Amino acid sequence: MTDRLTDRGGILDSAAARAAGLVLLVLVAYLPAFGGGWLWDDDILITANPLVTEARGLWGIWFHNTSPDYFPITLTACWIEYRLWGDWAPGYHAVNIAWHAANTVLVWRILVRLGVPGAWLAAAVWGVHPVTVTSVAWAAERKNTLSMFFGCLSVLGWMSYEDSGERRFYGWALLSFVVALLAKTSLVTLPLILPVLSWWRRGRMTRVDLVRIIPFLLASLVLGLITLWYQMGHGSGPSSGPLAAVLASLPRGGVLAGRAVGFYLWKDFWPTKLAMVYGVWPLETSRPAAYLPTLVVAAVVAGLWWQRKEPWARAGLFAATVFLLALLPILGFLPATYMKAHGSVADHWQYVALVAPVALVVAVGLKGRERWLPGGAGRMAAAAALILLGILTFRHAAIHRTSKALWTQNLAVADVWDAHVGLGRALAGEGNNAAAIVEVKRAIELYPAATPAWIGLGAIYTGEKRYDESVHAYQIAIDQGGGDDLFQAAGLAAALGGDLTRAEAFFARGAAKRPGDVSVRGDWGLTLEKLGRHREAAARYREALAIDPNNPDALNSLAYLLASRPGLIGDGDAKADAAEAVSLARRACTAAYNGDPAFLDTLATALAAGGDYAAAVEVADRAVMLAEEGGDAALTAELRGHRELFRSGRPFLPE
């Protein structure tokens, strides 16, 4: 047989050529994703995550993680990449596509080792299947691609150990599995899949197979509990204990599982109208008929088991078991906040499970090809299927290039609150605040507890200078359990609206909630200055500098306060205040590479307060020039006024 799309004959004789063919298919199908931008919660994972953006974050990733889940391998990968290309999104997309291409090759090798007919074609179909797009074109789902890569290595190690008996392969399998869990714990059911693979290869499952998976099960238990602990500890999971939370979820799983399996299989065989978020399904756990879909799935599996001696039933049982075990963590039996607020199903949840139905369909298709599509017709059908799937993936990946395109398409498929919030943010980014407000308010209509919607509304209202409404929106988000950073956002809105007393209260609460936050203390200090409480403002700036001695904004704020009011802040020693102001201002200017006109103006003010007017004028000249180059007319006029004071031998003393 000379089927060029299977594992024998033609131009794909060598393993290297076949692997290269898979990689090429993936790269072509995902070409639009290379230039994609940031989507949905990419900021939470990468761009606004101090664990990733700060050099010292690497220690925190492993030992002081503040993420909702514990996936240190994924965050470490992002930390490394942030050192390479910072906020440049295409870099992350390129790496994620590379991981997916590598996974496609590994899937092929696993299917070959399992003796699945048409292993190369099955891997190719999986690699360019549209359902995988969300995992590949969304940077935050690096969790999926990384976890699967090490999961595949674990499976290959397990089979190599079975074939050779060499302990090094067992160690390879176990270590790879632990790394996979540290990338994303969704592979916790792999220890249950491994003996199923052994049963498929040898026709039996022995007690030895079950003993061998004990270390794998222990790893799943430990890291699964850590994940639950992280979710519960960061307010993204159940408030009860892990066992109580699992027991409470069982009825939901009993209703959801069958419907979810049907949904996933339908999308596998008819991958159209895909969406980032599908919404939450109403689940009537008190109605006995609601459990019928799950009972049907169980009956199908039981029937396949009953007929397992038949080759067709054995293959179906194997594929169904792997598929269901891979999906088990997200079928509703375990507590998951995402299911309560966002969606009962998600495309990226079946990234791993998709392999099983794809491999089964390809194998069955190849078995029946000679009867139904003899000669070259079978090869043409396979090629046509790959081309069609590749086109669908290409188009779906293109939708993931921008948030606006993604959420617009999502709303065409499912009218869910997440999509309205996402589209609202995109519209606000374009300056279309009126349309953005409409979208975000629609999200709140659909789901009043949508904290991100209230946060987005607060941000848009701030941009529109509707400060009272902004504070109101932020307050609701705070009351719903939003992040501690909301106190600062609400404080800024209140301060801009002139309600300085309320702003000061928000900043005080924010500082108490975030003891290591510099910026909230800086904003608090500015508010206290406007309230005329200068000594308290200076104390807040000093607190900020105690946290980060080289923070340029805190250095500049304290320097300006001391320079503009020498003798009124410290112990009444004007000369000492001016000298300290000069020192602080020089450090701030150095941190800004002497390129910030406002910082230079502070230094000039400090020099003038100390009586060195010649130096003050020289620095002020530089500040005015930079302000002029920046095109800031108001700042330029202000700095020129300060310079005239220094030229006349007078310091700047605000009223």
Mean pLDDT score, 445-465 = 93
Torsion angle (degrees, nearest 10) of CA 191, 192, 195, 200: -130
Are the beta carbons of 604 and 643 closer than 8 angstroms?
yes
Instruction: Check residue 151 and give its pLDDT.
Output: 97
Domains in the chain (CATH in brackets) are: 10-277+284-399 (no CATH), 550-655 (1.25.40)
Instruction: Check residue 376 and give its pLDDT.
Output: 65
Average pLDDT value for the chain: 89
Mean pLDDT score, 13-41 = 92
Helix (H, G, I), strand (E, B) or coil at 82: helix
Instruction: Check residue 317 and give its pLDDT.
Output: 96
Percent helix, percent strand, percent coil in the chain, to nearest 5: 75, 0, 25
Q: Which residue has the higher pLDDT, 428 or 247?
A: 428
- Cα dist from 548 to 527, 538, 544, whole Å: 20, 15, 6
**Using one digit for the tens of pLDDT, what is the confidence trace for 189-220?**
999 999 999 999 988 888 888 899 999 999 99
Instruction: Check residue 231 and give its pLDDT.
Output: 63
Whats the size of the chain, residue-wise? 655
**Using one digit for the tens of pLDDT, what is the confidence trace for 283-340?**
888 899 999 999 999 999 999 999 988 999 999 999 999 999 999 999 988 767 777 7
Q: Give backbone dihedrals phi and psi of 481, rounded to 5 degrees, phi first.
A: 95, 25
From the centroid of its chain, how far is CA 53? 14
Residue type, 591: A
Mean pLDDT score, 232-242 = 51
Q: Which residue has the higher pLDDT, 378 or 565?
A: 565
Are the beta carbons of 261 and 327 closer than 8 angstroms?
yes
Are the beta carbons of 177 and 224 closer than 8 angstroms?
no
Of 242-246, 441-445, 447-451, the one with minimum mean pLDDT is 242-246
When mean pLDDT is compared over 102-106, 527-531, 555-559, the highest value belongs to 102-106
Instruction: Check residue 226 and give its pLDDT.
Output: 80
Asked if pLDDT for residue 553 goes beyond 60, the answer is yes
The helix-helix angle for 214-233 and 190-202 (nearest 10°) equals 150
Q: How confident is the model at residue 236 (pLDDT cuts 50, 70, 90)?
A: very low
Give dist(CA 283, CA 28) in Å, integer.
40
Mean pLDDT score, 513-525 = 89
Instruction: Check residue 9 and give its pLDDT.
Output: 47
Mean pLDDT score, 2-30 = 74
Q: Which residue has the higher pLDDT, 294 or 242?
A: 294
Instruction: Check residue 224 and give its pLDDT.
Output: 82
Tokens of 40: 């949905």
Are the beta carbons of 146 and 140 closer than 8 angstroms?
no
Mean pLDDT score, 327-354 = 87
Instruction: Check residue 594 and give its pLDDT.
Output: 84
Of 230-234, 300-304, 429-433, 610-614, the one with minimum mean pLDDT is 230-234
| Ramachandran quadrant class, 14 (left: phi over 0; alpha: psi -120 to 50; beta: rest) | beta
**Using one digit for the tens of pLDDT, what is the confidence trace for 362-420?**
998 887 666 666 666 667 878 888 999 999 999 999 999 999 999 999 999 999 999 99
Instruction: Check residue 124 and give its pLDDT.
Output: 97
Instruction: Check residue 450 and give its pLDDT.
Output: 92
**Using one digit for the tens of pLDDT, what is the confidence trace for 106-158?**
999 999 999 999 999 999 999 999 999 999 999 999 999 999 999 999 999 99
Give dist(CA 318, CA 304) in Å, integer.
9
Q: What is the DSSP string of 596-632?
A: -HHHHHHHHHHHHHTT-HHHHHHHHHHHHHHHHHTT-
Instruction: Check residue 78 and give its pLDDT.
Output: 94
Instruction: Check residue 250 and give its pLDDT.
Output: 80
Asked if pLDDT for residue 240 goes beyond 60, the answer is no
Are the beta carbons of 589 and 581 closer than 8 angstroms?
no
Q: How confident is the model at residue 655 (pLDDT cuts 50, 70, 90)?
A: low
Which residues lie across from 343 on neighbouring strands?
279
Other CB atoms closer than 10 Å to residue 288's CB: what's the count? 9
Other CB atoms closer than 10 Å to residue 8's CB: what's the count? 11
**Using one digit for the tens of pLDDT, what is the confidence trace for 17-30?**
999 999 999 999 99
Contacts of 36 (CB under 8 A, 6+ apart): 89, 90, 93, 137, 139, 397, 400, 401, 402
Instruction: Check residue 235 and give its pLDDT.
Output: 46
Instruction: Check residue 238 and give its pLDDT.
Output: 45
Minimal CA–CA distance to 113: which of 175, 168, 161?
161
Instruction: Check residue 307 and give its pLDDT.
Output: 92
Give dist(CA 512, CA 534) in Å, integer.
20
Instruction: Check residue 73 and give its pLDDT.
Output: 94
Instruction: Check residue 232 and give its pLDDT.
Output: 58
Are the beta carbons of 494 and 467 closer than 8 angstroms?
yes
